[in-house]
Amino acid sequence: MPIDPARLNFTEDGTPCSVAYGDVYHSHNGGLEQARHVFLGGNGLPGRWQGRASFTIVETGFGLGLNFLATWAAWRDDAQRCDRLHFVSVERHPFPREDLAVVHARWPELASLAAELQASWPVLTPGFHRLHLDGGRVVLTLLFGDALELIPELQCRSDAFYLDGFSPATNPELWSAGLLRELPRLAAAGATLATWSVTGEVRRTLGELGFDCEKVAGFTGKREMLRARFVNAGDTAATDPVRHALVIGAGLAGSSIANRLAERGWTVDVIDAAAEPAQGASGNLSGVLRPLPSLDDNRLARITRAGALYGLRHLQRLSARGLPVRWDACGVLHLARDPMHEEKQRRVVEAQRAPGEYLGFVDRDEASRLAGWPLPLGGWWFSGGGWVNPPSLCRANLAAFPEAIRCHFGRGAAALDAGSEGWRALDANGKLIAAAPVAIVANGVGIRQFPQAAALPVRSARGQVSHLPAQADSAPRVVVCRLGYVSPAIDGVRCAGATFSVNDEDPSLRVTDHRENLAKLDFILPGFAAGFDPARLDGRVGFRPASPDRLPMVGAVPSVRQADRASPLSSIPRHPGLYAVEGFGARGLVWAALAAELLASELAGDPLPLERSLVEALDPARYLLRPPRHTMSEE
């Protein structure tokens, strides 16, 4: 469902309001004071988060973000605050960044926090958006879309609930029994709830669901508000895991999961046979960061959208910290294959009504201008997409937390075994490299050497990229795709390709593959390849770990090779403490950061950054529930 942004309006007394819902965003007596009295006070904050490793709040109705800013400010001011604060909020009609800036200016005491929120504000596209604020200690997960669809997709253990939609009279869906019934599933032991609404139906429904409700004094002009505690004697608090993991592989997958765990305070041992990061499939000079939309907004489209947007924010965070990751959001032009495909691309843009900063359609003339080359057709324009140098990203991921990430280069893990120390990684001589309670296999096609991962259908896909001599600032200065890709000039070299050959183990450069890449280049930019001799080109060969359904494998590794196809994923046995981040194929840059954040969230007990249905689509055990497939392709 496309996102319809909120429109900023004010009542006669200057209170922000919604014309569509006929209600105000906060009391005219003061939005910040209301947030502190109703939601912080009603949930016993800041006291309840003190001394905790983490604390999670779930809110219905992000609105102006004032409850979030008030909570963040209270957390910052509390010397005994929890280590990490998670705030999850759903919003069907989010405000554009510019409107938030206008409203937030009313509270100068929140200026620095508001500015950071605005700077990180996501593109207004459907789904989950995860923002890391305050040096990663405050994590805001925004769910843009219909709460009735997205709250059931949320997976977390919430310590406190803020119920703050527009009034039940004007916005009944946000107070419906169907939505409220999701709260017990999300509630942690001893979870509390607060809201300004005291309607009988809401109180009765919450009581039936196991919430002990009471009316207390409301904010200024409102006589009463509601606070509640979830009572469930069978629920116990989650135990804090031993925060130590070993990661096999130092490419995009391995370095990304090491980075995401290290930010959470984990110690990570990274093991790789090479002398430095990104010497395998992640070693190309450049790769493309962009999503793959579809008319029906299918799983691949939704996950590539989430992955590309989160990956871009991850790059921005690394760069803001001064880490030398090389990338450029120069834009990606995805040209149509033929007139029929061009019309389909146009219909996708019209149907999704996506913001121009995310996706647009350009005709042949505009596409030719963007590419700096005459083109026969138009296509999609991703203005926020671009190219990334994968080795620099891998190095930056590892360098971001030197005190937490220990690298064991030049020592390949030949075997994994489970012992009293947890999982042990052994070299070819049987000597211990490292041990930890949690092991994460992220070494691409190398995963096939471990018997424990035999259930995962990882295939090797040989890819050859051609390196073309190029002058700086020569066209194209954007990435251009059309059944292949060509990059801008990077250090005097332009990348073009790539081939995709399953179960082809030849590591040498092949002239036939250069010819194939030049043919693709001529299809992308007609006539551009004419001056290159395939026999004289340099390039690079990598072996990418591919999956049958073109989606990565992220999660616990199954300990069986067969399962009843009617089984729920949760019932399939797993190797305790063994996980995989695998199967990236040709989209490693799109998957890496989000896949790592997903697995790190699962391991740490944090709210998950993706919808439940999409998490299940990435579960490595999914293949045990499907008929075997024998074909594989990659666009």
3-class DSSP string for 32-77: HHHHHHHHHHHCCCCHHHCCCCEEEEEEECCCCCHHHHHHHHHHHH
Q: Which long-range contacts (CB under 8 A, 24 or more apart) does 130-138 make?
A: 130/310, 130/597, 130/609, 131/313, 132/263, 132/313, 132/317, 133/72, 134/72, 134/76, 136/84, 136/263, 137/83, 137/84, 137/85, 138/72, 138/75, 138/84, 138/85, 138/87
Cis-peptide, bond into residue 476, ω within 30° of zero: yes
Going 450 to 621 to 438 to 611, the CA torsion angle's sign is positive
Same domain, 45 and 142: yes
Same domain, 419 and 555: yes
E strands, 316-373, in order: 327-328, 332-335, 360-362
Structure tokens at 178: 């169907």
Rounded CA separation 209/200 (Å): 14
Structure tokens at 122: 């996501």
Number of H helices, E strands in the chain: 17, 32
- Non-local (6+) Cβ contacts of 282 within 8 A are 251, 252, 253, 390, 391, 394, 542, 588
Whether residue 77 lies inside any domain: the answer is yes
Whether residue 323 lies inside any domain: the answer is no
The continuous run of DSSP H or E covering 124 comes out as none
Whether residue 149 lies inside any domain: the answer is yes
Amino acid in the structure at residue 483: L
- Per-residue confidence (pLDDT) for residue 630, from 0 to 100: 47
Q: Residue 285: name the closest of 79, 490, 23 by CA.
A: 490
Whether residue 441 lies inside any domain: the answer is yes
Q: Residue 448: name the closest of 401, 414, 410, 473 by CA.
A: 414
Rounded CA separation 247/269 (Å): 6
Same domain, 199 and 259: no
Same domain, 142 and 249: no
Q: Residue 534: name the closest of 553, 551, 550, 512 by CA.
A: 512
- Per-residue confidence (pLDDT) for residue 19, from 0 to 100: 79
Same domain, 198 and 256: no
Whether residue 164 lies inside any domain: the answer is yes
Structure tokens at 503: 């179960």
The continuous run of DSSP H or E covering 510 comes out as none
Asked if 337 and 524 touch (Cβ cutoff 8 Å), the reply is no
- Per-residue confidence (pLDDT) for residue 285, from 0 to 100: 96
Rounded CA separation 274/252 (Å): 14
SS3 616: helix
Same domain, 181 and 33: yes
Same domain, 30 and 98: yes
- Per-residue confidence (pLDDT) for residue 631, from 0 to 100: 45
Q: Which of 166, 198, 230 is the last residue of a domain?
A: 230
DSSP 287: E
Which positions of the chain have pLDDT values less than 70? 28-29, 221, 233-240, 627-635
Rounded CA separation 73/80 (Å): 13
Tens-place pLDDT, residues 393-447? 999 999 999 999 999 999 999 999 998 879 999 999 999 999 999 999 999 999 9
Same domain, 110 and 259: no
CA 276 to chain centroid, in Å, comes to 26
Structure tokens at 77: 């001011």
Same domain, 54 and 190: yes
Q: How many domains does the chain have?
A: 2
Same domain, 174 and 209: yes
Asked if 24 and 221 touch (Cβ cutoff 8 Å), the reply is no
Burial of 140 (0-12, 13-18, 19+ CB in 10 A): buried
Structure tokens at 610: 């993706």
- Per-residue confidence (pLDDT) for residue 54, from 0 to 100: 97
SS3 408: strand
Rg (Cα) of the chain, in Å, rounded?
26
Whether residue 413 lies inside any domain: the answer is yes
Same domain, 93 and 211: yes
Q: Which domain holds residue 195?
A: 9-230
CATH of the domain at 73: 3.40.50.150
Whether residue 85 lies inside any domain: the answer is yes
Other Cβ atoms less than 10 A from the Cβ of 283: the count is 19
Same domain, 73 and 193: yes
SS3 615: helix
Rounded CA separation 256/253 (Å): 5
Whether residue 357 lies inside any domain: the answer is no
- Non-local (6+) Cβ contacts of 513 within 8 A are 464, 466, 499, 539
- Per-residue confidence (pLDDT) for residue 418, from 0 to 100: 94
Q: Which of 196, 230, 264 is the last residue of a domain?
A: 230
Rounded CA separation 22/19 (Å): 5
| pTM of the entire predicted model | 0.96
DSSP 559: S
CATH of the domain at 583: 3.50.50.60
Rounded CA separation 289/388 (Å): 7
